[in-house]
Amino acid sequence: MMDHKENQDSLTSNLANIARRCLFGVLSMGPIPDHIAFIMDGNRRYSRRLKLEEGAGHKIGFTALMSMLKYCYELEVKYITVYAFSIDNFKRSPEEVKFLMELIQEKIEVLLKKDSIVNQYGVRVHFIGDLRLLDDSVRLAAEKAMAATAGNSKAVLSICIAYTSTNEIVNAVQQSCEEKWDELRILDSCGAAYGLTDYTGNGHTTEKTQ
């Protein structure tokens, strides 16, 4: 009786997969966007509305995200961005932040498995944000995932974590200034900086000793 039920479930699953692939085949005949973004928001509200245990909404949200990623990759969407955890989320209770960090680390490690969705579809994983703000274990897992998938080239999954738009702008400006300053130092060593490296930033210039 059990074998009959398992066979029936397997047949149903196979038929569903075939139907999904047929549907996606039809959809792919039309214009498919190159880039789709998902904002991971509302998990707590969903959990509270259904009176689920603490953290259940986040786990359900991740499961839903994995399904959507699979559908997107089957439709050959090239770029996907997931807004997962902003810097503002650190203002939540220490218990919730700890739970989320552990959940994020767990899900990153899932991506590293040989049969994971990123390896099945040749997806390169890229993390965006100030990773220095994360727990060491989460940061190391993120770095490991980026290194492990660096050779994948069919699609790109960008995961925004420990980010805000303001922080990203500040970091981008700071990085740009540092790069320009390095270029000026090189020019100065060749005598071609025209004294620009003497500028201290406070309205005065420093005098070089002869």
What is the reported pLDDT for 142? Answer: 95
What is the reported pLDDT for 10? Answer: 62
The whole-number average pLDDT for the span 65-74 is 88
What is the reported pLDDT for 8? Answer: 56
More confident residue, 119 or 11: 119
pLDDT at 20 > cutoff 90: no
What is the reported pLDDT for 27? Answer: 63
Catalytic-labelled residue, pool 9, 41, 182, 198: 41
Banded pLDDT at 75 (limits 50, 70, 90): confident
pLDDT at 191 > cutoff 50: yes
pTM: 0.69
Helix (H/G/I), strand (E/B), else coil: 85: strand
What is the reported pLDDT for 12? Answer: 60
pLDDT at 185 > cutoff 70: yes
Active site residue 41: yes
Helix (H/G/I), strand (E/B), else coil: 55: coil
**What tens digit of pLDDT does each residue of 162-177 get?**
988 777 677 778 778 8
What is the reported pLDDT for 119? Answer: 92
- HEC string for 141-209: HHHHHHHHCCCCCCEEEEEEEEECHHHHHHHHHHHHHHHHHHHHHHHHHCCCCCCHHHECCCCCECCCC
The whole-number average pLDDT for the span 143-161 is 94
More confident residue, 10 or 150: 150
Kindly report which listed range (49-58, 108-117, 179-188, 191-200) carries the lowest average pLDDT score: 191-200
Cα–Cα distance measured from residue 154 to residue 114, given in angstroms and rounded to the nearest whole number: 16
What is the reported pLDDT for 166? Answer: 76
What is the reported pLDDT for 207? Answer: 45
